[in-house]
Every structure is written in structure tokens, then in C-alpha cells.
Structure 1
Amino acid sequence: MSGAGLEVTAKIASRVEAFVRDVVVPYERDPRRDHHDCPTEELVAELKDKAREAGVLTPHILPDGSHLSQRETAIVLQRTGLSPLGPLACNTGAPDEGNMYLLGKVGSADIKERFLRPLVEGRARSAFFMTEPASEGGAGSDPSMMRTTCRRDGNHWLINGRKAFITGAQGAQVGIVMAKAEEGACMFLVDLPDPAIRIDHVPNTIDSSMPGGHAVVTIDNLRVPADQMLGEAGEGFQYAQVRLSPARLSHCMRWLGACVRANEIATDYANRRMAFGKLLIDHEGVGFMLAENLIDLRQAELMIEWCADVLDTGALGTAESSMTKVAVSEALMRVADRCVQVMGGSGVTADTIVEQVFREIRAFRIYDGPTEVHKWSLAKKIKRDWKAAQQQGAPV
């Protein structure tokens, strides 16, 4: 996948930003929400139609099917994130964006035509079935604990197990299911809905930006044709790694955009609101918080650019994306929290998106690997690198 060049990317990003600010932002007050406060399918479809008309649907994938580089994608996806509804409208949200990237990289021609094309065209949503219920000892941050099984049955595979926190499973048309065979982890493409995949429960969660919520599902004797496996049996974790770092980084891109917008709202409030005889911005305690926001936002942007450059070399960037996910999610949490604090009572109401951004970023610190798991993984790498250096006689 090749990039488009920064000049072309800048034009795409400009169109996207204008669309999100002018067309999508007014929809933030649209009442079409389900009982989990997630946007309804009707609302998402309407937003995608608007994006299609404006020529900004799936803007990170060019008309010839090529993908923007990660550096270029960062520029565009940050703009879609300026509203929590922006990624849904522009078809750059999770888990679809990550699933499109994976299928574009490793899918067969048949899989690309059957499963990828509807996603790119915005005619379908997808779900990635990997995480399992913790109460049952299933895989979470540690995918090696996977309990969902698959076994050959003629020219099909039979899959059984339970999955949890499956974003967008309710209402999805495309599923990517991970299961464990004797050969190791496997990854399958499936059409949804399927009676063998039963949604047991969609819990209310702190976040509310992703249609379908985060479902708990039971997979009961799901039969999948062998040609709908990605690669060969036992290669599932290898393909998961292809998706992992770019999808993790895309979250950083989108939520950076959301925090940029939240900071704009908090800044506007501080420059209009009077208290104790002067504007809030003129009170050092408030002004310093907004100054710290600018610092954190710029540092987050630079971390994203650095990691994107690493991925653009073709490297997996596992350690780099871990560092970026930790740095960006923690920085954006500070930004979102300060925005709420600056706005006082207004910051905890639904009158602006600041309150929602705070909730979404809090969830972001957990999904795609909690901060602590990434730090633990990095500490293990530090130890490995130290041992390797000692064996090579490196000076201390």
C-alpha cells in the first residue's frame, strides 16, 4: 500500500475537516440513540450518505484501492475525530477501519471482493471476535488464554466458544472470528448475522460512540468454509499482529481529534466566562490548565507521527505502538479531564461533547491494551534487550 503524498493528503484532510465541522457536528444533538446511548443504525446510515455525497467516505482508502501511508492516515483520521460522530460518518471508526486494513493487507481476492468491498463502500459494519469473558478464564489482554476452539469438519471448520466486549457485533454484517485449533490460533471471515453466533448481552458501558455497543456472545457450532480462513491454520496470531499496531495507532489519531475539539470548547468557555471580576482565562489556575493542554496535545501528535513513520517502513512497530498508546491515551486523559475542570458544571453536562470525550478517553485507556499491560510488555523487552547486550559484551 502506497501513500498519496502530503499535498494530496492535505486536501483530503481539509475536505474532511470542513465536512465534520459543518455537517456532522450539528448531528451531535440528534436524539436517534439506542438504550445504550449509542448512535442508531438509521443515524449512522444517514451520516454515511452525507459523507458519500461530500466525497469523504472512507477517505483513507483512495479510489484505486490503495491505502494512505500511516503518516498520511494520521492527518486524515485526526480530522474525522473532531466529532465523536465523525469516524462513523466518514467510515474511519473502530473496528471497521482496522478490519479493512487487515483484509486489504492479507485477504485473498475472493475475501476482498466479498467482505472488504462492502466495508470500504460503507454498506456494511464489522466486528472482531477475539476477547473472551474474564469470568470464564478467557483471553483478554493475554490472547494466549484463548478458549474458543475450532476443528476441521470436512471442507469446513466448526467453531465453539464465548466472546466478550465485541464492539459492534449487534448489527454487523461481517465478522472476523479468532479461535484455537491444534495447530494454533486461526482467523475466519464470517457473514453476520448467523444463528450460530448468539448475542447474549450488551452491557451498558462508560463509552457510547460505537454502534452496537460491546456484546457478550456465544458461538455454538459455527460452520465456516475452509476458504474463509485467513492464511493457514495456526497463523491467526501472526495476522492479528498485522492489524494490531495500525489499529492501536488509529485510535490515538481519532481521539486526538476529539480532544483538540474539546480543548477548543473549553478555551472558548474560558475566554467568555467571567468569575471574580475577570475572565477565567486570566486566572492563572485556568490559564495554566489550557497551556498544559496545548503541550499534551502537541506531544501526542508527535508520538503518533513517530510511530506512523516506523510503521511506514514496514516494521510491525509493536513496541513503538505500545509506547504511543500509553503516552497518547494518558496525555489525552489529562486533556479531557482539564477541559471538564475548566468548564465546571457545564463540563459534566451533555450540553457539549466535552463530557462524552472524557468518558470515551477513559475507556480508551483500557481497550487495545490497558496502560499497565503495555508497560509490562515494554519492561519485558527492556530485560530481553539487556540480556542480549550482555551476551554481546556491551559496556555498562
Structure 2
Amino acid sequence: MKRFWFPISFLAFLVLEILLILIKTKPYYYSLSSLIGIWDGFAEINPGAVDSDFVIFRAGGYDGQFFYLVAKSLFTELDWNLIVDSYFFRLHRIGFSFIVGSFSFIIGFEYYALIAIFVLNIVFLASYYALHSLLPDGKKQYSLLYLFSPYSLNSNLLLVADGFFASLVILGVFFYLKSNKTYLDEILSVLFFTLAIFTRELGIFLLLPIVFQSILAKNRRQTSIFLLPLFGFVFFLIWTWSISPNHLGTNPLGFGDMTDFPLYGFIKSFYDNGRFHLSAKESVKLLLFAQYFLLFVYILRKIRDLFQASESLSHTKELLFILPILATLGIISIAEEGYWRSFDNLSRMFTLPLPLVIYLHTRKPNRISGIFLGSSLLLFVFLILRIALLTQGKDFYLSP
């Protein structure tokens, strides 16, 4: 039976996701384009950008629309003649749009949502296999916590890039940590990390420990190879800053617009017009805050243990996992209140830490990390119930 649980888990995941997609798209005549979350306002100010018969919401959309619009601008005659909420913020995270847009350009953008679903799931299931392979014998069942991650599942159902980013990171780590790795393994690792950085800037914190350890080990070849993605991304940023877009966006975002003092965003999210409130629907953010707190304590202890360990910082593999989690915690700490008000926004921030904690926990079990992993199962149940019972259809029309 043990040899069958891995393919059975694949099948169970696919069945679950198909059911959730059917539930989410049912109010919109099962149109997959409803998953993109295109708002009427952005459809109107970008005439001709949205494909025919796509679901357009009259009130409220979601970030999937921006990945779609960026993909259209890359591979159609739009040529960046489009308006999103924030030009520079969206253009810097171009990886997911580039990959899905490439296939959509060949097959047809009318199939964008279907292509995005396939890309997200193929890369995710590949990363599940990679994480399963990385875990020690006797602990491989922990990979199921990643397969049924509420964070990756929610991200992929929203057709946004967070789950894609986490999958790329796991694949990059898999090839980097392979025993007796070949030159091809190293190149594949660099390619996955490069795409990860161009998907989310957070990927930089994966490469920093690799470059740091390569420099200490005086491994010039490895240092040079893994510096290339960093230089490439920096040059890309410089290029985007040097060009003049047609429109900076309806809500151009700077660093200060998305941040606040540590945990002020969390506190402010409980108040509206100076009055405290906490609805049953919003109470889940308390569980997410507990996740944040557990992760914070866990990583502080891991850092303490790292400096007390006999193993040199130049050789330990844990640095590769700890630094990205620490960076994520920093982002969550200074997130403005809008992130804390939205389950979708806040939960996406935990997409990468979960598989990294799984890897660390299977090597050095810890009560705190165990509680963190266990509480993710509660959020998984909440997500299923939220989609199946709480999510209501929105007013919409089909694009002409």
C-alpha cells in the first residue's frame, strides 16, 4: 500500500481542485475566466484588452486580472498601452505572466485561464514530487501538508503567482541540494531561481545564502553562476525605471504605500472610523496571526541554534531555508492594514514558508513548527468551507 499512496495523493488533490473550481465557477456558468477576477473598471479603461465572453465583475475583482493584462501586453499588439493599478509594481513581477502568456500566445488568449490552471498545477505537482524526494525516509508523508497547503491551493485558484513562486523555489532547491549534482543540475537550479526572482523579488533571499556560502568556500564558478540572476534582475529594474510608461496606474504604489510600522497594520485592521470591530468572517485573521507568531518564534530559535551549532555557516543547508522565511516575516510585520483585512492577501504570504518549514521540521522536529504545520490543516478546512459554503456569486456580465 505504501507504494500507492503517492499516486493516490496526486489523484485526490486533482479531484479536490476540480471540485473547487466547479464550485467557484458555477455562478458564472462554469466560465473559467471568472477565476481571473476582472473588474469592470479595468475592463473599461483598457478597451480591447479583455477577450470576448470573459466574465467581468461589476464590483470588485482580484489580482489575477493584472497577471492576465500584463501577459496580454507582452504578447499582443497592446505593447504596454494598458492601465493597471500600479505600473512598476506589476511589471517587476513578470515571471508568471511571461510563462502563461507564452503559451497563451501560441494557443490563444481566450484559453488563458485554462492554460494558467495547467501551468500552475504542473509546476506545483512537480514541486510536490521534489519536496517529497528531499524529505528523509520515514518522514516523506509530511509532503502531504504541502500538497494540501491552503496557501498554495488558494493562490492557484485565484490564478495569482504566489503558489507558482513557491513551486519554483522548491524545484530550484531540489536541483541545488541534489547529491552528486551535475553541471546540468546546477543550471536547472539557476533557471528556476531566476524565474522565481522575476516572479517575486523575495526570491533574492534564496540566492543570497548560496552566493554567501560560495564566496566563503572560494567556489568562483558557483559564485558567478548564481550571481547572474541577481545582476539580471537588477538590470531589469534599472531598465523599467528608465522607460516612460503610457500610464503609471490608477493607484501607483510606492514602498511606503504598502507598509506600516511593525504590526500596526494588524492593529488598524480591527478598526473602522475609530470603532473596534471583529466579524465572524474576519476572525480567521487571528489564526493567521497565530501562524505568524509561531513562525516568528520558530525562526528566532533556529537562528539561535544556527549560531550555537558546530557546523559552519559556510556549510549549513538550513541558511537556505531560514533566510527566505525571515524575509517573509519581515514583510508580514510591516504589511499595511489592507493585507490584514483580506484572507486572500494575507494567506498568500505564507505560501513559501510552509514547504520550507516542512523541510526543516522533518530534520529537526520541534513542537512550535509542529503546531504551525498542524494549524495549517485548520486553515485548509476553513478554505474548503469558505469556498463551498460562504463564497457568494457576484454581479457580472460577459465582455463583448
Decide: shared fold, TM above 0.5: no
Name the one with the larger helix percent.
2
TM-score for the superposition, normalised by structure 1 = 0.29
By percentage of residues, which structure has more strand?
A: 1
Which has the bigger relative contact order, CA under 8 A and spacing at least 6?
2
